[in-house]
Amino acid sequence: ADLQKAVATASGPAKPLDYQEVYDAIAKILDNDNYDDGSYAPVLVRLAWHASGTYDKNTNTGGSNGATMRFDPEASHGANAGLAVARKLLEPIKKQFPQITYADLWTLAGVAAIQEVGGPIIPWRAGRADAVSAEVCPPDGRLPDAAKDQRHIRDVFGRMGFNDQETVALIGAHALGRCHTDRSGFEGPWTRAPTTFSNEYFKLLLEEKWVARNWTGPKQFADKSTGDLMMLPADMALYNDRTFYLQSYKYAKDSDLYFRDFSAAFAKLLELGVPFPEGSAPMVLKPTNA
Ligand code: ZEM
């Protein structure tokens, strides 16, 4: 007790964690001209999504609480290939702010990534805990399979607790980033501005003519006019399914609606299965350019 007192006196009373400071530190490391399209934002959004999208509402298992992707087997699940890049990128931030849990850090990084590349404000709550071992890792196979169709997408997002409108809104995050042959086997970006959050994904999905790409890789689609853009078979489900199509059409026409709906669905995704303390309230983190 004496030693504890001495330490407490030496370092002063513990300062409560300021999440805006953590946000600002994440915002600072997003840009890197030597990585992909110049930003780590897309891969951080994918980390937050894969940490959260394992949720199963029927068993209340999986989800962002626990940050279980630090452990095998989840770290090595095929769906998570390439996400070590994102987890390693955040290590210095975790060292700088040791009080934040990995589970909070990964979801906060997803929020920072979306907001910093021009996306909507995403209200975010702190309070996730880190698991101490692999025992609570979700089983493999909970994340959607890019090769499958609308039935599979509805099954998987329904298991998380999302309706069709929320499902379509979330998949529009493919405005960001690209596929990598050494991660998923697929290749290329969905949009021509993959480091800017927008409703471009929906515009392109509906306005371009998509044809099967002629290559030796897994089945994917290319825009007929230039061939530089891509859609996964699972993306084409938004075109092929009548309800998904009508929702995609609304988002292609109305960017404000898309931003509002994405914010609500992404905030919900990051909170699935998290036992927040009673009375905890979402906070708004300020974008660095605002
Ligand atoms: Zn994705 N996604 N995703 N996604 N995703 C990839 C990349 C990215 C699916 C999918 O199979 C793939 C959501 C939904 C779905 C992002 C965000 C979100 C890749 C490419 C694949 C194969 C990985 C690679 O090779 O690097 C499928 C089938 C989905 C549902 C049907 C949802 C929901 C997301 C967020 C809300 C992002 C940002 C990327 C880009 C990552 C990067 O590194 O550029």
Superfamily of domain 150-265 in the CATH hierarchy: Peroxidase, domain 2 (1.10.420.10)
36 sits in the region (left: phi over 0; alpha: psi -120 to 50; else beta) called left
Catalytic residue among 49, 106, 124, 190: 190
Structure tokens belonging to residue 100: 């934040």
Domain ranges of the chain: 18-142+266-271, 150-265
For 41, 163, 195, the CA distances from 200, given in Å and listed in that order, are: 17, 22, 12
Q: 210 — phi, psi (to 5°)?
A: -100, 125
Give the pLDDT score at 265: 99
Substitution candidate for ligand 1 out of 36, 39, 46 with most atoms within 8 A of CB: 46
Atom of ligand 1 at shortest distance to CA of 269?
Answer: 36
Per-residue pLDDT tens, the chain, 290 aa: give them.
555 555 555 666 677 899 999 999 999 999 999 999 999 999 999 999 999 999 999 999 999 999 999 999 999 999 999 999 999 999 999 999 999 999 999 999 999 999 999 999 999 999 999 999 999 999 999 999 999 999 999 999 999 999 999 999 999 999 999 999 999 999 999 999 999 999 999 999 999 999 999 999 999 999 999 999 999 999 999 999 999 999 999 999 999 999 999 999 999 999 999 999 888 899 999 999 87
Is residue 228 within 8 Å of residue 190, measured between CB atoms? no
Measured distance CA(88)–CA(110) in Å, rounded: 15
Provide the ipTM.
0.99
Which residue has the least CA distance to atom 16 on ligand 1? 46
Give the pLDDT score at 7: 54
Q: Which CATH architecture has domain 18-142+266-271?
A: Orthogonal Bundle (1.10)
Whose alpha carbon is nearest atom 9 of ligand 1? Answer: 146
Strand 210-212's sheet: what is its strand order?
210-212, 221-223, 230-231
Count of CB atoms within 10 A of residue 155's CB? 11
- Residue 134 has what DSSP assignment? G
Q: How many angstroms is it from 43 CA to the middle of ligand 1? A: 9
- Structure confidence by residue, pLDDT tens digits, 218-244: 999 999 999 999 999 999 999 999 999
CB atoms near residue 267 (< 10 Å):
18
52, 64 Cβ separation under 8 angstroms: yes
Do 130 and 216 touch, CB atoms closer than 8 A? no
Backbone phi, psi, residue 150, to 5°: -60, -30
Ligand 1 contacts CB of residue 177 (under 6 A): yes
Judge if the upstream peptide bond of residue 16 is cis by omega within 30 degrees of 0.
no
Q: Whose structure tokens read 């452990």? A: 71
Residue 190 catalytic?
Answer: yes
The question of whether 106 is a catalytic residue gets the answer no
**pLDDT given at position 182:** 98
Query: In this structure, which residue's CA is closest to atom 13 in ligand 1?
Result: 171
Residue 184 in contact with ligand 1 by CB distance below 6 A: yes
The Cβ of residue 183 has, within 10 Å, a number of other Cβ atoms equal to 18
pLDDT of amino acid 219: 98
Residues contacting 72, CB < 8 A, separation 6+: 134, 137
Nearest CA to ligand 1 atom 37: 46
- Cβ distance 104 to 170 under 8 Å? no
The two tokens of residue 271 are 């909170």
Burial class (CB in 10 A: 0-12, 13-18, 19+), 13: exposed
Per DSSP, the residues of 29-73 read: TSB-TTSTTSBSHHHHHHHHHHHHTT-BTTTTB-SSTB-GGGSTT
